[in-house]
Amino acid sequence: MRRLLLGVAASAFLLSQSGCFINIYSSDPNRRVLELLNQSEDLRQIEYEWERIWLNDMPSHLTPERVHGGVMP
């Protein structure tokens, strides 16, 4: 019986921490839209930051057209 109560308490604690019981967004529709916009903007910025860290935003030097960079007539 003690093990069962401990298991129920542990599962209740874990479920309460997963966001199932408490909503993380406001119930006011206008405020909820602002919260969702802020979250999506943060996720968009994370994508740009990740590309900058891995140097994916640099131009590629493997283009098929070779340009020597000099002045052409």
Confidence band, pLDDT 50/70/90 cuts, at residue 73 = low
DSSP-derived 3-state class of residue 70:
coil
Flag whether the pTM goes above 0.85. no
65 pLDDT higher than 80: no
- Residue 31: pLDDT band by 50, 70, 90 thresholds? very high
CA atoms of 13 and 5, how far apart (whole Å) = 12
Q: What is the pLDDT of residue 68?
A: 64
The CA distance from 51 to 47, in Å, is 6
Q: Is the pLDDT of residue 30 over 90?
A: yes
- Is the CB of residue 13 less than 8 Å from the CB of residue 7? no
Using the predicted structure, report yes or no on whether residue 3 has a pLDDT greater than 80: yes
